[in-house]
Chains A and B, each alone.
Chain A
Amino acid sequence: MIGFLIRRILQAAIVVLIVTVITFILLRSIPGNVAVAILGPSAYRNPAALAQFNSEYGFNKPWFSQYLLWLGHLLQGNLGFSWTLDQSVASLLGQRLPKTIILVGFSTIIALIIAIPIGLWQAVRRNRAVDYTFTGLSFLFYAAPTFFVGTVLILVFSVRLGWFGPEAPQGGVVNDLTDWRDLTLPVVTLALVTIALFSRYMRSAVLDNITEDYVRTARAKGASQRRVLWRHVMRNSLIPIATLLGLSIPGIFAGALITESVFNYPGMGYLFYQSAQKQDYPVMLGFVIVVAIATVVGSLLADIAYAVLDPRVRYA
Chain B
Amino acid sequence: MAARAEVASARAAGLRLLAPTGAAGSRLAFLIERIAARDRAAFSALYAATSAKLYGIILRILRRRELADEVLQEVYVQIWERAAYYDAAKGAPITWMVAIARNRALDEVRRKTAVSIEDTPEVMNLAGEEEHPLDRVEKSQELARLSQCLDALDSNRRELVLLAYREGMSREVLGQRFSRPPATIKSWLRRSLLQLRDCLGQ
A, B: real partners:
no
Q: Which positions in B face A, CB cutoff 8 Å?
A: none
Q: Which positions in A face B, CB cutoff 8 Å?
A: none
